[in-house]
Copies of this chain bind each other. A is one copy, B any other.
């Protein structure tokens, strides 16, 4: 069912949510954009909130699968970090709607911060391992790990937002290097 009505609803919702914001997008307008009756939406999703959560989880799953978390190897920590960083940034550039929707969900209060935290923790497992390995070989500073992860996440959001808002710069080496170098240097011992 690649283009079932359910999928059409999800696609329409994604576009409208990013364009207008989640709050400002009515379920009626989603149904209309999906060429589907109002009641059909509530047949597939018990509520608007359930629709948002369902969309969020499918987007995060897509991210996890495409930005596959490699297994960490002993040497070349900086290189591994760069590869992971570039993969993640490339995903956000090729999936701007998905990324912008995730940013909106982060500030959408009807969804519990518990759910958001759970999804993020899963996403940053690889990064935490990389940092801890780097600390063991004195490459990465030994600040409190919770803060380091928050800071990394913040820098990732900054970079992806910047490149989505300035698509012409997304392939510009100076900007791509700036983003990674600031990120990497902030971690260095």
Contact = CB atoms under 8 A, between A and B. Distances in A.
Nearest to A113: B165
Contact of A143 (B153, B174, B187): B174
The complex is assembled from copies of this chain, and their number is 2
A183 interface: yes
Given A155-B155, A157-B154, A158-B154, A144 B174 contact: yes
Given A23-B23, A24-B109, A181 B150 contact: no
Nearest to A110: B24
Contacts of A177: 143
A144 B175 contact: yes
Contacts of A158: 150-151, 153-155
Given A151-B182, A155-B186, A185-B187, 14 more contacts: A21-B109, A24-B110, A104-B107, A141-B185, A143-B174, A143-B175, A143-B178, A147-B179, A150-B158, A150-B161, A150-B162, A154-B157, A183-B186, A185-B186
Q: Which 4 A/B pairs are nearest by Cβ-Cβ distance?
A: A143-B178, A154-B158, A186-B186, A21-B109
